[in-house]
């Protein structure tokens, strides 16, 4: 029995949906922390940062290739923030802006780890920057991005700005380069 033989019917209570999305996000946040912790303990800060940067960069390229493909298939140009947001692969139902500093389920978990492992703050911030910057660069082929606010550090919301980048237009990426497999 494949998924095509199973029809999803009914409705889901929004509170349950938010809870389920945030549960999955918490599992990812915990996995990312433990991945970083293992690398940090085994290889030290700088090597761990390099390995994490490359891993998150490759994840962002994989994600944005898929988002771009979907956007193009949906008849969009795949060259704007609006096109990107129309086809993004994140379940925003679990990110509730009205919850302020706790709107991001990753941040809720990561701030807890940072209390016991202060070195992890850099890795938590790094994830957001590398994934978001690389994703828009690879998706649009001409835009880059910078984070202007992050609830991991301070404040009650995450903010960012997108901008045209000659470097990206020439095929460059802020945090890495595509490898030929």
Rounded Cα–Cα distance for residues 97 and 91 (Å): 13
Answer yes or no: is 46 within a domain. Answer: yes
Answer yes or no: is 176 within a domain. Answer: no
Helix, strand or coil, per DSSP, at residue 129? helix
Mean pLDDT for the stretch of residues 21-45: 97
Mean pLDDT for the stretch of residues 79-92: 93
Rounded Cα–Cα distance for residues 64 and 85 (Å): 11
Answer yes or no: is 111 within a domain. Answer: yes
Q: How far is CA 11 from CA 8, 17, 22, 111, in A?
A: 9, 10, 19, 34
Rounded Cα–Cα distance for residues 118 and 121 (Å): 6
Rounded Cα–Cα distance for residues 62 and 41 (Å): 28
Answer yes or no: is 51 within a domain. Answer: yes
- Rounded to 5 degrees, φ, ψ at 145 are -160, 145
Answer yes or no: is 175 within a domain. Answer: no
The predicted structure's pLDDT at residue 180: 65
Name the residue among 102, 72, 116 with its Cα closest to residue 80: 72
Query: What pLDDT band is residue 92 in, cutting at 50, 70 and 90?
Result: confident
Answer yes or no: is 88 within a domain. Answer: yes
Answer yes or no: is 178 within a domain. Answer: no
pTM over 0.85: yes
Residue 157 sits in which domain range?
A: 14-169
Answer yes or no: is 119 within a domain. Answer: yes
Rounded Cα–Cα distance for residues 12 and 129 (Å): 33
Provide, rounded to the nearest whole percent, the portion of the chain with pLDDT above 90: 86
| Domains contained in the chain, number | 1
């Amino acid at each position: 029995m494949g998924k095509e033989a199973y029809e999803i019917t009914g409705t889901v209570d929004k509170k349950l949906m938010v809870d389920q999305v945030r549960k999955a996000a918490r599992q990812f946040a915990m996995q990312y922390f433990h991945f970083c912790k293992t690398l940090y303990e085994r290889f030290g800060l700088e090597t761990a940062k390099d390995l994490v940067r490359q891993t998150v960069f490759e994840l962002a390229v994989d994600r944005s290739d898929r988002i771009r493909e979907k956007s193009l298939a949906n008849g969009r140009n795949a060259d704007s923030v609006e096109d990107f947001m129309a086809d993004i692969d994140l379940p925003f139902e679990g990110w509730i802006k009205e919850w302020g500093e706790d709107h991001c389920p990753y941040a809720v978990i990561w701030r807890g780890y940072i209390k016991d492992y202060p070195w992890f703050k850099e890795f938590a911030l790094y994830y957001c920057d590398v994934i978001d910057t690389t994703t828009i660069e690879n998706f649009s082929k001409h835009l880059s991005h910078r984070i202007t606010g992050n609830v991991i550090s301070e404040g009650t919301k995450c903010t960012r700005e997108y901008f045209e980048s000659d470097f990206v237009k020439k095929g460059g990426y802020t945090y890495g380069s595509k490898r030929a497999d």
